[in-house]
């Protein structure tokens, strides 16, 4: 039996792509292993959005080579592989194969070549790959990722993704719905799905838009929670917002990438909205979906960002009161248009700005979360927590809660009361311990 180990970096799409690779290799008789020491094929699925992500992978390659026995194959796949191609083979001598996000069908062939002693990088454009015939082998069955769109047609000036993942293409609605229906029916216990795409709410299969997709997937029997990521702010059309509001399965949480609170910076980033438009989208979502939580992505130190522009990001964060934010220092990416914008922000200034931003984000999140202590929630138990012998669960609003309970609760929904918070995650008490009759009636 041959074993494959895949280490995944970056976004949820990469997690989903790794599941596809397990599918491609599963057809060749490979089984998945979590232990690199026993793997015959070791793959690192990489991210290219920031230099930091790439440096981490390069460091990790040095460690992984320890597990490479004679005849084993070590590969770099994903966005960094696509970006660097054959250069990776030159730079990292222990790497045998390099394949980008549209080339995973070619894995068995390149693995065979590598075994025959031939190292290769295959990052040629293959056309509009959908992987429609490849059944993913999922790591998480309770909550499943379903890719509905690949690639990106937006041209944000900081972003490498259009170059690594190619043009936007959507799967057919019927194919997505069949996949979700199979997941819900197959006994694996899937009741939650997250639809994935680079700008997922711009989904369009030629006939159906994202509103149709939400309504149809939300109506699949057995699907109790429906999430999606990442949307683009201006693709929340009134139709999409109405579908969110009217589809009970759609969860009350939106990850809404901001990037900057300054209209001038947004313009240089070639984002298709300004500050006021972003705020209008937030208002529309909050009006249509009461109690929705909001998270975001923010870049500091984009070329030309002045202190005043950065202040506008701080003031927008204050105004919106995000539940959570992922913050990044701008990282220059070769081949992206922002390379040509002069006026780079000094590293110390980026560090100082991100520090102020993180402090603000944490203060707001903590304040909000303290306000939730004592409230009750429906949670889905996802699995064992990393520490303390507890279970990890999630609310519809995407808050993470830890609770004490039996392993049989994994995959089930329960009512809990929040009893405390670290500022970001919660401790929770199962209500059935307090009011068993009431909870029985509710379930």
What is the contact surface with ligand 5AD in residues (CB under 6 A)? 49-50, 158-159, 257, 259, 297, 299, 328, 330-331, 333
Residue closest to ligand 5AD (Cβ): 297
Residue in the block written with tokens 């303390």: 388
CA distances from 237 to 5, 58, 104, 214, 423 (A): 41, 41, 34, 13, 33
Residue in the block written with tokens 């298709």: 272
Q: Checking DSSP bridges between strand 253-255 and strand 376-384, what pairing results, if any?
A: unpaired
386 by Cβ neighbours in 10 Å (0-12 / 13-18 / 19+) ranks as exposed
* Residue 288 vs 341, nearer CB to ligand 5AD: 341
Q: Could you give the CA distance from residue 403 to residue 393 in angstroms, rounded to a whole number?
A: 8
The distance of closest approach from Cβ of residue 52 to ligand 5AD in the complex, given in angstroms and rounded to an integer, is 9
The distance of closest approach from Cβ of residue 46 to ligand 5AD in the complex, given in angstroms and rounded to an integer, is 14
The distance of closest approach from Cβ of residue 310 to ligand 5AD in the complex, given in angstroms and rounded to an integer, is 14
* Residue 73 vs 256, nearer CB to ligand 5AD: 256
Q: For residue 354, what are the contacts with CB-CB under 8 A and spacing of at least 6?
A: 300, 301, 327, 328, 329
Q: Could you give the CA distance from residue 231 to residue 211 in angstroms, rounded to a whole number?
A: 13
* Residue 333 vs 377, nearer CB to ligand 5AD: 333
Q: Could you check whether the bond before residue 230 is cis, i.e. omega within 30 degrees of 0?
A: yes
Helices 238-246 and 210-218: crossing angle, nearest 10°?
A: 10
**DSSP notation for 337-397:** GGGG---PPPHHHHHHHHHHHHHHHHHHHHHHHHTTTT-EEEEEEEEE-SSTT-EEEEETT
The distance of closest approach from Cβ of residue 64 to ligand 5AD in the complex, given in angstroms and rounded to an integer, is 25
The distance of closest approach from Cβ of residue 33 to ligand 5AD in the complex, given in angstroms and rounded to an integer, is 29
* Residue 195 vs 299, nearer CB to ligand 5AD: 299
* Residue 190 vs 313, nearer CB to ligand 5AD: 313
The distance of closest approach from Cβ of residue 49 to ligand 5AD in the complex, given in angstroms and rounded to an integer, is 4
* Residue 140 vs 331, nearer CB to ligand 5AD: 331
* Residue 30 vs 328, nearer CB to ligand 5AD: 328
The distance of closest approach from Cβ of residue 322 to ligand 5AD in the complex, given in angstroms and rounded to an integer, is 13
Yes or no: say if 325 and 281 are a contact pair by the CB < 8 Å rule. no
**DSSP notation for 99-127:** E-TT-GGGHHHHHHHHHTT--EEE-----
The distance of closest approach from Cβ of residue 295 to ligand 5AD in the complex, given in angstroms and rounded to an integer, is 11
* Residue 154 vs 429, nearer CB to ligand 5AD: 154
CB atoms within 10 A of CB 8: 21
């Amino acid at each position: 039996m041959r074993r494959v180990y895949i280490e995944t970096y970056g976004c949820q799409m990469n997690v989903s792509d790794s599941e596809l690779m397990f599918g491609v290799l599963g057809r060749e008789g490979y089984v998945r292993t979590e232990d690199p020491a026993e793997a015959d094929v070791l793959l690192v699925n990489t991210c290219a959005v920031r230099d930091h992500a790439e440096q981490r992978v390069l460091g990790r390659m040095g460690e992984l080579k320890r597990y490479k026995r004679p005849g084993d194959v070590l590969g770099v796949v994903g966005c960094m592989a696509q970006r660097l191609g054959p250069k990776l083979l030159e730079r990292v001598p222990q790497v045998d194969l390099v394949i980008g996000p549209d080339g995973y069908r070619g894995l068995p062939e390149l693995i065979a070549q590598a075994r025959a002693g031939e190292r290769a990088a295959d990052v040629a454009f293959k056309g509009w790959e959908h992987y429609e015939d490849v059944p993913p082998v999922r790591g998480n069955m309770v909550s499943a990722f379903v890719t509905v769109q690949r690639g990106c047609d937006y041209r944000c000036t900081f972003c490498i993704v259009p170059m690594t993942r190619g043009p936007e293409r959507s799967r057919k609605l019927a194919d997505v719905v069949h996949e979700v229906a199979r997941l819900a029916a197959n006994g694996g216990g899937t009741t939650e799905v997250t639809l994935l795409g680079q700008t997922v709410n711009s989904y369009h299969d030629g006939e159906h838009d994202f509103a149709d997709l939400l309504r149809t997937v939300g109506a699949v029997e057995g699907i109790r929670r429906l999430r999606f990521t990442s949307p683009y702010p201006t693709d929340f059309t009134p139709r999409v917002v109405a579908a969110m509001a009217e589809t009970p399965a759609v969860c009350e949480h939106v990850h809404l990438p901001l990037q900057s609170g300054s209209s001038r910076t947004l313009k240089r980033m070639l984002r298709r909205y300004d500050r006021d438009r972003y705020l209008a989208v937030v208002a529309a979502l909050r009006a249509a979906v009461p109690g929705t939580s909001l998270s975001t992505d923010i870049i500091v130190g984009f070329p030309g960002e002045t202190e005043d522009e950065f202040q506008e990001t701080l003031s927008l964060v204050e105004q919106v009161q995000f539940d959570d934010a992922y913050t990044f220092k701008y990282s220059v990416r070769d081949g992206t248009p922002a390379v040509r914008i002069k006026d780079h922000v000094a590293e110390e200034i980026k560090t100082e700005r991100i520090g102020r931003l993180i402090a603000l984000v944490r203060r707001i999140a903590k304040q909000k979360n303290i306000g939730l202590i004592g409230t009750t929630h429906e949670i889905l138990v996802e699995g064992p927590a990393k520490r303390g012998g507890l279970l990890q669960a999630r609310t519809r609003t995407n808050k993470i809660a830890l609770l004490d309970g039996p392993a049989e609760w994994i995959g089930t929904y329960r009512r809990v009361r929040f009893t405390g918070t670290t500022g970001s995650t919660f401790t929770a008490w199962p209500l059935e311990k307090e009011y068993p009759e009431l909870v029985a009636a509710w379930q």
